[in-house]
Amino acid sequence: MNLVPLKNEGRYDVHRVRQDFPIFQQQVHGQRLVYLDSGSSAQKPQAVLESLKETLTTHYANIHRGLYEFSQTTTTKFEQARQKVADFLHAPSSDQIVFTRSATEGLNLVAACWGGANLKAGDEIVITQLEHHANIVPWQMIAEKTGAKIIVAPITPYGDVRADDVIACFTSRTKIVAFSAMSNVLGTITPVKQIVAAAKERDIVTVVDACQAVMHQSVNVQDWDCDFLVFSAHKLYGPNGVGVLYGRTDLLNAMPPYQGGGDMIETVSFSGTTYKNAPARFEAGTPAIAEVIALGAAIDYVCGLGLDAIARHEKMIFDYAEEKLQAIAGLRLYGKAPDRASILAFTLDNCPSSDVGMILDQKGVCVRVGHHCAMPLMECLGVTALVRASIGLYTTTEDIDALVDGLHTAQRLLG
Ligand SMILES: Cc1ncc(COP(=O)(O)O)c(C=O)c1O
Tens digit of each residue's pLDDT (9 = 90 or more) over 124-133: 999 999 999 9
Does residue 209 line the site of ligand 1, with CB under 6 A?
yes
Amino acid at 146: T
Q: Are 139 and 178 in contact (CB under 8 A)?
A: yes
Residue 342 beta carbon below 6 angstroms from any ligand 1 atom: no
CB 395 within 8 A of CB 38: yes
Active site residues: 373
Question: Is beta strand 343-348 parallel, antiparallel or unpaired with respect to 331-334?
Answer: antiparallel
Candidates 191, 183, 205; CA nearest to 129 is: 183
Closest CA to 134 of 238, 243, 255, 223: 243
**Distance in angstroms (rounded) separating the CA atoms of residues 121 and 143:** 8
pLDDT for the residue 5: 36
306: three-class secondary structure by DSSP: coil
CB 34 within 8 A of CB 403: yes
Q: 231 C-alpha vs ligand 1 centroid, how far in Å?
A: 7
Q: Output Rg (C-alpha) for the chain, integer angstroms.
A: 22
Start-end of H helices in 127-266: 137-146, 163-167, 192-201, 213-216, 221-224, 249-254
Q: Is the CB of 212 under 6 A from ligand 1?
A: yes
Q: Which of 107, 132, 161 should be mutated for ligand 1, with most atoms under 8 A from CB? A: 132
Mapping DSSP to helix (H, G, I), strand (E, B) and coil, where does residue 161 land? Answer: coil
Burial class of residue 27 in the structure, from the number of CB atoms within 10 Å of its CB (0-12 exposed, 13-18 middle, 19+ buried)? exposed
Tell which atom from ligand 1 comes closest to the C-alpha of 101.
11
- Predicted confidence (pLDDT) per residue in 142-184, tens digit: 999 999 999 999 999 999 999 999 999 999 999 999 999 999 9
In angstroms, what is the span from residue 403 Cα to ligand 1's centroid? 24
Nearest to 111 by CA among 137, 129, 130, 133: 137
pLDDT > 70: percent of the chain: 98
- pLDDT band of residue 66 (cuts 50, 70, 90) is confident
Supply the pLDDT for residue 8.
40
8 A C-beta contact, residue 189 and residue 210: no
Single-letter amino acid, residue 143: A
Cα distances (Å, whole numbers) of residue 171 to 115, 128, 202: 17, 15, 9
Q: What separation in Å is there between the alpha carbon of 135 and the centre of ligand 1?
A: 8
Q: Model confidence over 295-352: pLDDT tens digits?
A: 999 999 999 999 999 999 999 999 999 999 999 999 999 999 999 999 999 999 999 9
345 lines ligand 1 (CB under 6 A): no
Nearest to 299 by CA among 104, 31, 45, 5: 45
Ligand 1 in contact with 180 (CB < 6 A)? yes
Confidence of residue 65 (pLDDT cuts 50, 70, 90): confident
What is the whole-number distance in angstroms between the Cα of residue 114 and the centre of ligand 1?
Answer: 20
pLDDT of residue 415: 77
Within 10 A of 42 (CB to CB), how many other CB atoms are there? Answer: 25
Residue whose CA lies nearest to ligand 1 atom number 12: 211
Mean model confidence pLDDT for the chain: 95
Residue nearest to atom 14 of ligand 1 (CA): 40
What would the mean pLDDT of 256-281 be, rounded to a whole number? 96
1: nearest Cα among 338, 392, 344: 338
Distance 95 CA to ligand 1 centre (A): 23
Which atom in ligand 1 lies closest to the alpha carbon of residue 131? 1
Q: 132 CA to middle of ligand 1, Å?
A: 7
pLDDT more than 90, % of the chain: 95
Query: Is the CB–ligand 1 distance for residue 229 below 6 Å?
Result: no
